[in-house]
């Protein structure tokens, strides 16, 4: 199976910082991170644990004064998926994980069938090399062949750095929190947040591994959802200063099952 790849260059753009005000009850972890109920509700809604109908039927989305049953159920679902103590409470362990930067894909994603193309020109050398390593990892465990093409050629997969609102309905949030997102087959778009501190080499404590995140997002482009195993490439959360450049057995089993390949 041959797939063309087009990498896009990050343009130099300036953006104003968005200030998020979170109110009402909050919890603080050992590192001093706090989270209010408004922020929790928004987070669970963004990543697919609260749907539109449940959010509308619960107390006001932006001014809930206390946990309701809908929010508690959603929080328990999140805690169960990520192997936390299923308390239904906003404890410090849950705050720790929610505060960790992650992939922007929700719990369940669908193909939006979008036709818009990334707006920025070709990507720098580091992105090209990181993408090559990411494609090689998936090619080794499948029968897929990936081929990079020049910017003027049509491509099945489009990879680019983007910033803030970039026209796909899922704006980035600046440094931290959401690092990247991608779209399910056969859309082919893979976006990395240009405001993050990326490293093609093993990252320092304040950097994120570009190869790891590109490999993860390519998994979404190929159709995989998140893994609940913290050692898997397809686990939703990525730690600063950490590196991961090998597929987990769960990643391999997932892609082989999805495309009905021999184990």
CA distance 116 to 132: 24
196 is in an annotated binding site: yes
Distance in angstroms (rounded) separating the CA atoms of residues 102 and 142: 26
96 is in an annotated binding site: no
Q: Which residues are part of the catalytic machinery?
A: 217
How far is CA 74 from each of CA 49, 107, 124, 164, 210, rounded to the nearest angstrom? 5, 12, 40, 27, 31
- Known binding residue 103? Answer is yes
Residue 162: its H or E element: strand 157-162
Is 129 annotated in some ligand binding site?
A: no
Place of tokens 């036709």: 115
**Is 181 assigned to a binding site?**
yes
191 is in an annotated binding site: yes
Tell me how far apart the alpha carbons of residues 240 and 179 are, in angstroms, rounded to a whole number. 11
Residue 220 marked as a ligand binder? yes
226 annotated among ligand-binding-site residues: yes
Q: Is 68 annotated as a binding residue?
A: no
φ/ψ of residue 78, rounded to 5? -60, -45
Q: Is 146 exposed, middle or buried (0-12, 13-18, 19+ CB in 10 A)?
A: buried
Separation of first and last alpha carbons in the chain: 18
Q: Tell me if 168 is assigned to a ligand binding site.
A: yes
Residues in the annotated binding site for Ca(2+): 156, 173-174, 193, 196
Instruction: Give the residue numbers of the binding site for Zn(2+).
Output: 103, 166, 168, 181, 191, 216, 220, 226, 234
Binding annotation = 103, 156, 166, 168, 173-174, 181, 191, 193, 196, 216, 220, 226, 234
């Amino acid at each position: 199976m041959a797939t063309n790849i087009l990498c896009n260059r990050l343009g130099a753009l300036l953006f104003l910082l968005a200030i998020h005000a979170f109110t009402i009850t909050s919890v603080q972890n050992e590192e001093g991170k706090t989270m209010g109920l408004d922020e929790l509700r928004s987070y669970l809604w963004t990543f697919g644990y609260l749907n539109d109908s449940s959010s509308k039927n619960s107390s006001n989305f932006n001014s809930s004064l206390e946990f309701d049953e809908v929010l508690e159920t959603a929080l328990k679902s999140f805690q169960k998926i990520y192997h936390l103590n299923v308390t239904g409470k906003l404890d410090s362990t849950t705050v720790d994980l929610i505060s960790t930067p992650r992939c922007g894909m929700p719990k369940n994603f669908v193909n939006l069938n979008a036709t818009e193309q990334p707006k920025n020109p070709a990507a720098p050398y580091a992105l090209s090399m990181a993408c090559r390593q990411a494609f090689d990892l998936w090619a080794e465990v499948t029968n897929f062949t990936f081929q990079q093409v020049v910017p003027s050629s049509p491509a099945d997969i489009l990879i680019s750095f983007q910033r803030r609102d970039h026209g796909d309905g899922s704006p980035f949030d600046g440094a931290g929190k959401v690092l990247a997102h991608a779209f399910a087959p056969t859309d082919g778009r893979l976006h990395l947040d240009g405001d993050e501190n990326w490293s093609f080499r093993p990252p320092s404590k304040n950097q994120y591994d570009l190869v790891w995140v590109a490999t993860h997002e390519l998994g979404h482009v190929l159709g995989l959802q998140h893994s609940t195993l913290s050692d898997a490439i397809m686990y939703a959360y990525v730690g600063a200063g950490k590196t991961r450049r090998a597929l987990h057995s769960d990643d391999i089993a997932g892609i082989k099952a999805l495309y009905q390949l021999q184990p």
